[in-house]
Every structure is written in C-alpha cells, then in structure tokens.
Amino acid sequence: MARYAYEKDPVAIYRQSFATVRAEADLSHLPDGLKPVAIRLIHACGMTDVPQDLTWSPDAVDAAQAAFSARAPVLCDVEMVVHGIIRSRLPQGCDVICTLNEADVPSLAAELGTTRSAAATGLWRDRLEGAVVAIGNAPTALFHLLEMIADGGPKPALVLGFPVGFVGAAESKQALADNPFGLPFLAINGRRGGSAMAAAAVNALAAGLPEEL
C-alpha cells in the first residue's frame, strides 16, 4: 500500500526536474553550449545558483565535442566520478579510467610526498594527450596535473575542475582558470564541487539533456 503521494514515473521526474531548473536558475549569461551543462550540474546538486560560479575557457564546449568525436578517454580522479558517468551516452570506444586503486599508487604517493589521488594522475601519462579529464574530489590531483603539464607533460583536450573541500579546492580551480598552457577547461569557483558534478559535466557535454536525446 502506498503511504506517500509522490511522482514515480522516471520520464515525468526528469521533465519536471529540468523544468524547475529552467524556471529558477539564471542561465542568461552562459553560452548556448554550456546551458545544458549548467542544468545537469544543478540537477546533480540541487543548487540553482551554480551558474553564477561557473568559469570556463571559450573553447571548452568545442574541445569536448572534438575529444568525444575522436573517442578520447575520460580520466577520473576517483571511482565515484567513474560510476556517475552514463557509459551509454558516450561514443563507442571512449574508455572511462580511474587509476586511484592501481597497486603502485600508495608507494608512488609516499615517494612523491603527496596524496594517492595526486600520485594516481601520474599514471595517466600514456593516455593524457587529447583526453577529457574529470576531477571531482581531490584538489591535489588537479594541482599535480597542472604541474605535470608545466613540466612538459601531455596536454588533455579538456579539464573539468570540480574538486570539493576546504583545503586547496578553490585555489586549485583558480590555478586551472589561470593556466598559461592554453588548456581548455570548465570549473566551478570556490569550495563547491564533487564527484556528482564532475560526472554530470561529462554526461552533459557528451550527450546533452535527456529530453534532447
């Protein structure tokens, strides 16, 4: 017996959710290509003021589309980002990779004197050129990625910067926005972020919104 009155139809839930976002969020300052991304991000976190904190390079959407068309891999800092990405919406052949749990990561982190998340980005080197990077947890991973590129490492096609937290999150995303490498990016300013948002950005850039499919 139903004890509560609530919407059960998944299509209706999606439709009502995105209609609410469009009604309550100010998307007017965003380029058209980023509006579906902002809607997905709001849907992932429930905060309609997200668009006001987004920062991006002018070529971010084009870079994402080119990377997905080339079936570039998506490199993620944590497994939570991996599991939030809708694989069926990615072009066939796009691998989704997280190296955080590779056997040699703890020893590499100890050697470098950094976090496992940062050390794990070093294992991306062979797949990094032209990849889409989605960072949804660790500021140290974003900092280490930028350091690798500064040292002459391969450049990804796009970096989605959504690390979350109180230590280094805002600073790492500011470093991404200020990067001198011509690196395309999309990020959210400040402490906010998280794996759900990073995955939502990938999903939107790869496939738009559900009602558009």
CA–CA dist 19, 42 (Å, integer): 12
- Give me the sheet containing 158-161, strands edge to edge: 54-56, 185-188, 158-161, 132-135, 74-76, 96-98
For residue 197, which of 40, 92, 73 has the smallest C-alpha distance? 40
Catalytic-residue membership of 43: yes
The single residue of 29, 43, 83, 144 carrying the catalytic annotation is 43
Residues known to be catalytic: 43
